[in-house]
Amino acid sequence: MNEHPTTAGEVEPPTAAARPRITVPTPGAEAPERPSLGARIGGYVSLTKPRIVELLLITTIPAMLVAARKEFEALPSLAAVVATIVGGALAAGSANAINCYIDRDIDQLMRRTSRRPLAKQEISPKNALIFGLIIGTIAVVGMWAVVGPLAAALTFGAILYYDVVYTIWLKRTTPYNTVWGGACGAAPVLIGWAAVTGHMSWMAWVLFAVVFLWQPPHFYALAMKFKDDYAAAGIPMLPAVAPAKRVAVESVVYGWLTLAVSLVAVPLGATWLYGTVALVTGGLFVLECHKLLARVNRGEDPKPMRLFHWSTSYLTLLFLALAADSFLM
């Protein structure tokens, strides 16, 4: 144990010596039973983390609608929408599969990730990596062919950033991995915009900033729930290495920033419909961040999953309002 406990302003990463060791089968040990075909197919699907993919697509389609209405006063072409949805899903799945390959050592140590296909040895690491690279290549090439080089380049950049910058570097070295790693989570907004227009605009960057700033409270809440897992694996997620009050305060700050930036879309062309939904849902998002801080200050169970689930609902409602709002522009 560390002889000097962490104070409220310090961040202390877990030491490598405290990490549990990964169990490696000994030579001659009985081989695990080969998974069925259905289990292997399900394993490959699981590698893509479908629930995360769904959340990313929620931000992509409204961005495409707004881009088309603002730039051309029309709907985006069906080909562009299909190519972006399929390409975006494949790209996100690729990034997630490669992430599972890279993180296969720590996934065995965390309860939340111990049932992933590589941790359960349902799929070999080599096959997982090949699968991720293949679907990623299909995504980038397909996007280039159908919607152009900018969307394809952004797609490739998002995969590279998530797996190299975030997974290999940031995740294992800094408590602010979630903050800086948020760039790849917000990239689908830019990709969708580029797929329609072939260029960027201020509105695209504002929507990118909304998703970027929304992510810390969202993932801090999840990390608070599973902080012991991250500590056991030696991953310096902020809730695992800093006092709960610091995490809650930062959640409040990012919550207010998200609300403020979301309203910038109004002077850029969004109408009263989006503005009203952004103000109300953003206010409730900020309120939930403050409730988390209040529970921490009272020494109560912080109940972080309340914030986690509401943050997901907030982003969904906000971008659904944006999609509906595009028809009023």
Q: Does residue 241 register a pLDDT over 60? A: yes
Read off the pLDDT of residues 83-125 as tens digits, 9 standing for 90 and up.
999 999 999 999 999 999 999 999 988 988 888 889 888 899 9
According to the model, what pLDDT value does residue 42 have? 85
The pLDDT of 280-297, averaged and rounded, is: 98
The pLDDT of 196-202, averaged and rounded, is: 95
Contact, 224 vs 251, CB < 8 A?
no
CATH number for the domain whose boundaries are 201-329: 1.20.120.1780
Q: Does residue 233 register a pLDDT over 70? A: yes
According to the model, what pLDDT value does residue 101 have? 96
CB neighbours of 63 closer than 8 A, spacing ≥ 6? 188, 189, 190, 192, 193, 204, 207, 319, 322
Q: Rounded to an integer, what distance in angstroms lies between the CA atom of residue 107 and that of residue 318?
A: 33
Read off the pLDDT of residues 124-140 as tens digits, 9 standing for 90 and up.
999 999 999 999 999 99
CATH number for the domain whose boundaries are 39-200: 1.10.357.140
Domains 39-200 and 201-329 alike in fold: no
| Nearest residue to 42 via CA among 138, 131, 123, 135 | 123
Q: How confident is the model at residue 298 (pLDDT cuts 50, 70, 90)?
A: very high
Predicted model pTM: 0.87
The ranges assigned to domains in the chain are: 39-200, 201-329
Q: Rounded to an integer, what distance in angstroms lies between the CA atom of residue 71 and that of residue 55?
A: 25
Q: How confident is the model at residue 226 (pLDDT cuts 50, 70, 90)?
A: very high
Mean pLDDT of the chain: 89
According to the model, what pLDDT value does residue 13 have? 45
Q: How confident is the model at residue 32 (pLDDT cuts 50, 70, 90)?
A: low
